[in-house]
Amino acid sequence: MREPLVHRRTVLRGIGATIALPWLEAMLPRGIGPSALAASHAALAPERTARAVFVFFPNGMNPATWRPTMAANGAWVPSTSLLPLKGFERNITVHTGLRHQRAEANGDGPGDHARSAACFLTGMQPRKTAGDDIRVGKSIDQEIADALGTAGRSTRLRSLELGTEPAMTAGNCDSGYSCAYSANISWRSESLPNGKETDPKAAFERLFGRSGMTPEEAAAQSRSRRSVLDGAAAQAKRIAGIVGRNDRERLDEYLDAVRDLERQIDGDALAEIDAKDLPEFEGGPMDLARRTDLLSQVLALSLQTDATRVVTFMLANEGSNRPYQEIGVSQGHHDVSHHGNDAAKMDAFTRINTFQSERLAALLTALSRTREGGRSLLDTTLVLYGSAITDGNAHNHDDLPILVAGGSVRGHRGGRIVQHAPGTPLCNLHLGMAAAAGAPMKSFGDSTGTIAITS
């Protein structure tokens, strides 16, 4: 077999940018027939499809409207808060009975919000401090990133961290716990949280690396509507001229997606929105749903181009008390989560939970619409979605709201409710996620075994 027409690490050089290519059939060795093509895809699968995404939502949920039901055939039926996921049922497994014991007080008193975020991906109880002596544990996303790098599957970005609220590292945010615990779920080490991108534009520019440009030059480029793709057209045309029809279509779709997302982020799609009527967020005023969904599109592109294989996404910081004016909720999120059975607050809480499910649906849609090697990016990506607080009103940490989506190529079979023994550590599922993502581990956090996502 001869060298491929296009090397997997080939990039396009745009205006101050490095644009990675999506996976193309031309990246396979030349000289293989159609029957060997599927086998070659399979041979690449351990490298190309080892991807894991962890999505976190804060303040728990309203069990009365979040819990799905089970149909007679064993499939799950979306509840009110999960209705936005209708159509994705076959891609999603609902897990019940899982617990984060180390998010509980265990003698440390109040501070459930800080503990739940800190524990979500670490399985460890954070040291109670508002000082700089923070300590919790290395998170599962970072364990996976390390394992993939050690196995020779390193990527340009070791991992990608996204969120909609700032990644604070200091201050007292919850009953004597540092804000670092509430604002971060990805921990590089037991005392070092990873920062997160909250501005879609900054995330886009990190992904496509507008290198060598000052902030003033980047701003001037945005104002002039010059694209990162400008200057790369000749290279793209050359590649299109030597690859097959399927690859040409895939390359065209990818470049169109990059340009469309760039235009949305730079403001073309927001031109008619009056910024003064929108709440102010880090990165500028923008409707939260739009901003979150743009981050999801950046996430999908980061996986499609193999810029990274490990992503975390905080839909908001734990304990967040922002109002959701976009959906008619004027009270703060944390306030309505402590509804005390007040009907109006319970309704507001349900609306927020539903809004969060809509954001997950937007992410799954972005992944499902992106094709590579004859399948969708959703099929090759495992997505864990959940919270480390169950009932927002009760602050409990057992029978957590946890979903796993995608990953059919990795053996995940959705469409089910999997009932675990009460008190089963969530870390057992983290081990299953790691194994399916190509990073098997013997233990993690307070694990007592491994929940295989293929079972």
Tell me the pLDDT of the chain averaged across its residues: 86
> 183 and 210: one domain?
no
Look up tokens 């499910």; give the residue. 357
Burial class of residue 79, CB neighbours in 10 A (0-12, 13-18, 19+): buried
Q: Would you tell me how many other CB atoms lie within 10 Å of the CB of residue 7?
A: 11
| Per-residue CA distances from 47 to 54, 149, 365 (Å) | 19, 11, 23
Residue 8 belongs to some domain of the structure: yes
Confidence of residue 267 (pLDDT cuts 50, 70, 90): low
Using 50, 70 and 90 to split pLDDT, how confident is the model at 424? Answer: very high
Alpha helices, DSSP H only, in 267-307? Answer: 288-304
Q: Using the 8-state DSSP alphabet, how is residue 91 labeled?
A: G
Query: Does 168 lie in the same domain as 245?
Result: no
Percent of the chain residues topping a pLDDT of 90: 61
Specify whether 137 is located in the same domain as 226. no
* 301 assigned to some structural domain: no
- Rounded mean pLDDT of 5-16? 74
Statement: residue 283 has pLDDT above 60: no
Same domain, 122 and 5: no
- Whether residue 304 lies inside any domain: the answer is no
Same domain, 56 and 78: yes
Residue 306 is predicted with a pLDDT of: 86
177 shares its domain with 219? no
* pLDDT (0 to 100) of residue 47: 43
User: Looking at the domain assignment, is residue 303 inside a domain?
Assistant: no
Beta bridge partners of 197: 162
Residues forming a β-bridge with 403: 94, 385
Residues 144 and 54 both lie in one domain: yes
Cβ–Cβ < 8 Å for 341, 64: no
Alpha helices in 121-214 (DSSP H): 140-150, 179-183, 200-208
Task: Identify whether residues 194 and 337 lie together within a single domain.
Answer: yes
Q: Is residue 302 part of a domain?
A: no
pLDDT band at 261 (very low <50, low <70, confident <90, very high): confident
Range of the domain at 345: 49-198+288-296+309-455
Confidence of residue 277 (pLDDT cuts 50, 70, 90): very low
Core vs surface per residue 101-131: b (16+ CB within 10 A) or e? bbbbeeebeebbbbbbbbbbbbbbbbbbebe
CA neighbor of 440 nearest in space, from 167, 143, 226: 143
**171 and 92, same structural domain?**
yes
Between 284 and 63, name the one with better pLDDT: 63
pLDDT tens, position by position, 358-375:
999 999 999 999 887 678
- What type of residue sits at position 321? N
The string of pLDDT tens digits covering residues 103-161 is: 999 999 999 999 999 999 999 999 999 999 999 999 999 999 999 887 667 788 899 99
The CATH number covering residue 315 comes to 3.40.720
Q: Are residues 167 and 57 in the same domain?
A: yes
Q: 269 pLDDT exceeds 50?
A: no
Q: Band the pLDDT of 265: cuts 50, 70, 90.
A: confident
- Residues 19-41: what's their mean pLDDT? 67
The confidence score (pLDDT) of residue 123 equals 98
Domains identified in the chain, total number: 2
- C-alpha dihedral sign at 368, 370, 374, 379: negative
pLDDT given for residue 359 in this prediction: 98
Does any domain span residue 429? Answer: yes
Query: Residue 380 corresponds to which tokens in the numbers above?
Result: 């090759």
Instruction: Give Rg (Cα) of the chain.
Output: 22
Q: How far apart are CA 44 and CA 387, in angstroms?
A: 33
87 and 191 belong to one structural domain: yes
441 located within any domain: yes
So what's the pLDDT on residue 284? 43
Q: What token pair was written down for 361?
A: 């649906």
* pLDDT for residue 282: 44
Residue 347: inside a domain: yes
- Prediction pTM value: 0.88
* Pair 75, 137 in one domain: yes
Judge residue 437's burial from the number of C-beta atoms within 10 Å of its C-beta, 0-12 exposed, 13-18 middle, 19 or more buried. buried
pLDDT digits (tens, 9 = 90+) for 287-326: 899 999 999 999 999 998 888 999 999 999 999 999 999 8
